[in-house]
Amino acid sequence: NAGVTQTPKFRVLKTGQSMTLLCAQDMNHEYMYWYRQDPGMGLRLIHYSVGEGTTAKGEVPDGYNVSRLKKQNFLLGLESAAPSQTSVYFCASKDREGSPLHFGNGTRLTVT
């Protein structure tokens, strides 16, 4: 099993550009999450999904959209990137309530 795979690993965007971050898991997990990690801030939840076709807002959802069309994939979109969105983005999944998260290795995004 590959676990949780994030693509791309690195990306540089100019302000106003758009992009989609892809998260794929091969563990048949129901729940998927997108976090951002900034220095000294820990991980903050952007959006999450409790199953295929569902999405919900987390702590910092503004400027992001998500889709969960297939159970194994969770996409994070930035429609108009801003420098404040420079961060490391982590995707995670879990199979049931009350179980730990499995994380990908992150996407480092820089917006200039």
Partner 1 sequence: GESVGLHLPTLSVQEGDNSIINCAYSNSASDYFIWYKQESGKGPQFIIDIRSNMDKRQGQRVTVLLNKTVKHLSLQIAATQPGDSAVYFCAENIRPGGSYIPTFGRGTSLIVHP
Q: Which residues are near partner 1 by CB under 8 A?
A: 4, 31, 33, 35, 39-45, 48, 50, 56, 58-59, 90, 92, 97-98, 100-106
| Nearest distance in Å: CB 51, partner 1 | 10
List the structure tokens of 77. 């979109």
| Nearest distance in Å: CB 94, partner 1 | 8
Q: Which amino acid is at 104?
A: G
| Nearest distance in Å: CB 14, partner 1 | 25
Nearer to partner 1, 14 or 40 (CB): 40
Nearer to partner 1, 5 or 73 (CB): 5
Q: What is the DSSP string of 37-92?
A: EETTTEEEEEEEESSTT--EE-SS-TTEEEE-SSTTEEEEEESS--GGG-EEEEEE
Peptide bond into 8 cis (omega under 30): yes
Nearer to partner 1, 80 or 105 (CB): 105
The dihedral built from the CA positions of residue 92, 98, 99 and 100, taken in this order, carries a sign that is positive
Nearer to partner 1, 17 or 102 (CB): 102
